Structure 1
């Protein structure tokens, strides 16, 4: 870890960012965990997080100036979406959700999720989190969400972008790729995985989250900047941004203020920033204008 950064985060309250987010800004990728005594973690989870309930998420957003959020179900809660739904019900005008489901969910279950503010489902392909889903289940779920006008969020490793590109191009629903595809920034922007990602994001039904800078680079996250800039340039109207709070499985400490202050480096143009932070998530998740 960067020693100065580590020392700055130890034993001090996290700061407020210098960059002022525009009104209506949305954290389009964040999580709530537990509390475990109320919303137990999945027995089949690959990791056990520290509790990060809705109150912690709200405190973060108050500190950094976020008004809206998309709460993404994480694998540690499996298909039990109650913690996420509880958070949305707490602030229904400001929160939306992305669920994890399997093909056992019936029409009533889908309607309850829809009524609860869910607008998509997430599938994880990342190896250290369990790897690819059963593709027969995946395809049946895709058929179900297509009927509801939902989208699918795909959490991929960079090594999977090329092999999965054909599948993604055939998807009949909008799809969102998490964390800039978790590209290896040390391999440069000409690497096949990133070039394939750029081709995907030019498709009208592909969205990309330019979050996860702290996952693909180290503070002050310089290595992530040209990748995010290239993605925003390729698809300015279908990019999203988020904090990934509370940063599950991240080895290094991070102050979300640093991620907010990175935004004007990722989206240099003010119009691109407004699309990234306000207009794009409002359109995908149905927030009021």
Structure 2
């Protein structure tokens, strides 16, 4: 199993606090492999990236809500997510790995729903080994419709174009991760960006402003991703959300302090009203939080 860099262990406060009820729309949790066995063929594990460590990071940044997204490390065994949601409390939701819709029975899926899971992530990165065939994908999205869950898309390393035909006509909420894996060198002219904006105009597609630090070709402070994020915000201001992607799996260089990623969002959206939508109102709508 390859070695990757761990998360920054000393999260600091951001330059300014985020709005109340800010949501980290994707982070992963891991744990002791004795308690949470990894699946055969898993590409990575991060046993120190526990829910306690995640909540420490959230407290440091001023984040009050979050979505625990099942890592490919555990396949269809979601016990680590179920346990994390119990500890995190009612201001947290879960997102399953879609392989569970193929491998697990209805009783298990209902258990996930009862725990707070409200979506399923479809991984199109073939090297991670948890993909579905086109027929399995169709069956899984039919089940999502019955459950009232959203579909979450993890694009291939080079974007969404090779897989988009599978989901572009879905009639359920669809969340595209990681800026659609845009090519920052091409900016807003990247066909992936153009296609993502086309999808956003359908009304049921969402995009996650995350992974800018890895998509960037220039490195910190990641100026080359700003036009891409800004294009998505302008296209669908009510259907863009933000995520840390903590603990930054598969990092080939040391991950930044997570406060820097929230500050990057502040640069995407310098207006307080926009930040309120991206960090609070939009995720509340998609994940089912109630704003006081």
The TM-score normalised by the length of structure 2 is 0.90
Partners of 1:216 and 1:204 lie apart in 2 by 26
Matched pairs, number: 281
How far does residue 113 in structure 1 lie from its aligned partner after superposition? 0.8
Distance in 2, matches of 1:67 and 1:11, equals 20
Give the conservation status (yes or no) of the 8 Å contact 1:182–1:215: no
Query: How do 1:33-182 residues align onto structure 2 when only pairs under 5 Å count?
Result: 33-100=30-97, 101-130=100-129, 132-157=131-156, 159-182=158-181
1:7 is matched with: none
User: TM-score when scaled to structure 1?
Assistant: 0.91
Equivalent positions of 1:189-228 (< 5 A) are 189-217=188-216, 218-228=219-229
Aligned alpha-carbon RMSD (Å) = 2.0
What is the alpha-carbon distance in structure 2 between the residues aligned to residue 163 and residue 114 of structure 1?
A: 31
CA deviation after TM superposition for structure 1 residue 139, in Å? 1.3
Structure 2: runs of 5 or more not aligned: 1-6
Q: 1:28 to 1:278 in 2, by over 3 A?
A: same
Match of 2:269 among 267, 270, 277: 267
Deviation at 1:90, TM superposition (A): 1.3
CA distance in 1, matches of 2:8, 2:132: 40
Is the contact made by 2:120 and 2:150 (CA closer than 8 Å) also made in structure 1? yes
Query: What is the Cα deviation at residue 25 of structure 1?
Result: 0.2
CA distance in 2, matches of 1:191, 1:132: 25
Q: Tell me by how many angstroms 1:12 deviates.
A: 8.7
Which whole-Å CA distance do the structure 1 matches of 2:90 and 2:76 have between them? Answer: 24
Q: Distance in 1 between matches of 2:48 and 2:33?
A: 7
CA distance in 2, matches of 1:129, 1:269: 38
Q: 1:248 matched to which residue of 2?
A: 249
Is the Cα contact below 8 Å between 2:187 and 2:224 reproduced in 1?
A: no
Deviation at 1:83, TM superposition (A): 0.5
CA distance in 1, matches of 2:214, 2:128: 15
Q: Which consecutive unaligned segments of at least 5 residues does structure 1 have?
A: 1-9
Structure 2 Cα separation of the partners of residues 187 and 131 of structure 1: 30
For residues 135 and 128 of structure 2, what CA distance do their matches in structure 1 show?
19
Instruction: Go from structure 1 to structure 2 and tell me whether the alpha carbon gap of 1:216 and 1:90 turns closer, same or farther (over 3 Å shift).
Output: same
More displaced 10-residue stretch of structure 1: 185-194 or 73-82 = 185-194
Distance change (3 Å), C-alpha of 1:145 and 1:257: same
- Structure 1 stretches of 4+ with a deviation exceeding 4 A read none
Shift of 1:130: 3.4
Distance 1:39 1:158 in 2: 27
C-alpha distance after superposition, 1:199-235 (max 9, x if no partner): 1122211010001111101211111111111111111
What are the residue-to-residue correspondences of 1:15-30 with 2, within 5 Å?
15-30=12-27
Contact 2:102/2:140 (<8 A) preserved: yes
Kept after mapping to 2: 8 A contact 1:35/1:52 = no
